[in-house]
Every structure is written in C-alpha cells, then in structure tokens.
Amino acid sequence: MKPLKRYQYERYAVLCSLAYPRIFKQTRYGFDPDGQRVIKNQFGKTMIRVLWSKKRTEVVVVIKGSHNLSDWLLNFFIWPRRCHHLGLRYRIHSGFYHLLFQESTPSRNQDRLGLSVLERLEATVVPLILQGKRITVTGHSSGGAIGCVFADYLEKKYPKCIKRVVTFGQPAIGDWAFKKHYRLGHKTYRICCDIDIVTFMPPLPFLYWHVGKMLWLYNGRIYENTPTLIRLARSIVSWLIRPFSYHLMSKYIRNKDFFDER
C-alpha cells in the first residue's frame, strides 16, 4: 500500500472543508471552469461535488458529512440493511443507507427526475471513467462512510476505476461481511484526529467494522492501524474534557504537517 503523501492529504482535507459552504470556486484549486457537478440531497442541498480537469486523469468526488438536524438524526438509525440489490454481499448502517438512496433533487436542467443520490453520482462519473479518468473519493464523517460504499460499488462495475479513498473522521458503516468483501482496503486511508469521538461510532462492538489503513494523528505523531481499544484508552481523559472539538475539518487541516514531503 502506497503511503499517503503530505500534499495529497492537504489537498483532500481542504476540499472536504470547502465542500460545506454553499459556493465553491473550483478553478481556484486547479479544476476546469466546467469541471464541477453538484449532487443534491432530497431537500435540494448540496451533498456531493464532483471535480475534474481535462489536464488531469484524476476526478475527485467530495462528499459532505452530516450538516443538518436530519442528517444527524440518521446516525441513530443503527440497524444494518442489506445492499444485495447492488450486487454487494454485505449490510450497512441503515441511516447511511438512506443518505445514498434518498432521491436527489436535480441541480441542472439536463438532470433527470427520480434518481437516487447514488444513481445520480454514478451517472455523473461514468462518462468521465469512459474517458480514461480515475476516481478519488474523499469525504468527512458520514460522507467518508458512504464514500467507501460508493467506491466499492463503482469498483465492482468498472474494475480499476478507483484511484484511492481518503476519509476524515469517519464512523464505521458496514458489518463483518463488508470488511471481508470490501475491494479497496489497499487503497483506502481512514484518517482519525486525536480523540474524535465520531470515529468510535456506532458504539456496537463486532457489529460494525472499519476498512482500509487507519492513520491516527495524535500527540504530534502518526500512528498506523492502532487498535480501537488502545486508541480509546490513550485518549479517554481528553475525551471527557473535549468530546467533539476534534471532529471539525479545521482540526484535520491544521494537522497537515504530520505528513512528510515525499
């Protein structure tokens, strides 16, 4: 598994942070004037940005995390739900399943009605894949979680189309079968910052599992694949004092200096 370089970390962290404001000027970050497509949720709010440039082979799919009350409430829908209709042999968190399969409000005149978020996202990236481009999926919080499922689904249909998956502050999303059958473990980087409580969610041991390589940014160092219990034990005191402050994207951006230039 190739290491995640500092400039890559910084790029994806900044894009995840800038996905939250209503307006995003993609040309400031090297993407084409027409190199952005917005995927909206059922309420007409921007949920995903697809970014690309003709000069680059990489397309970046940036997925927001929970950013309203409705999204946060979905975190409590913790029963697992099957994804067999997608050809995926596992179950995922029911609340995150809803995020993927809610109806997507059209954002352009060319958009068809009646598509789910996953279907509209797939319809957006497939023409780019057919042009020879490869997809990087990155997301914060629940956006990172559903990004893993979307990337796995796309990789199944279009082998070798996924370049990498980079998530920030991601909760677990799938059952043991998800961990077993996930195709992109060697291309997935799951970044946890200090004592970010969301990375321990859902609090159901042995029901939900993480995938990929974990990079834990803690006390001025990067720890790789630290077991959850050890990570929790090391940070329990700080957690009691500051439970949610480490979940903000601003904290992830400040920690970009953990990554060496390579």
Residue 236 within a domain: yes
- pLDDT tens by residue, the chain, 262 residues: 888 888 899 999 999 998 888 889 999 999 999 999 999 999 999 999 999 999 999 999 999 988 777 778 888 888 999 998 888 999 999 999 999 999 999 988 888 889 999 999 999 999 999 999 999 999 999 999 999 999 999 999 999 999 999 999 999 999 999 999 999 999 999 999 888 888 989 888 789 999 999 999 987 788 899 888 888 887 776 667 665 666 777 777 776 676 765 5
Residue 65 within a domain: yes
| Residue 28 CA: distances (Å) to CA of 7, 24, 25, 212 | 16, 9, 6, 31
Residue 1 within a domain: no
Residue 133 within a domain: yes
Whole-structure pTM value: 0.88
What CATH number is associated with residue 229? Answer: 3.40.50.1820
Residue 29 within a domain: yes
Residue 262 within a domain: no
Owning domain of residue 110? 6-257
Residue 212 within a domain: yes
**How confident is the model over 188-215, as pLDDT tens digits?**
999 998 888 889 898 887 899 999 999 9
**How confident is the model over 64-105, as pLDDT tens digits?**
988 777 778 888 888 999 998 888 999 999 999 999 999 999
Residue 162 within a domain: yes
Tally the domains of the chain: 1
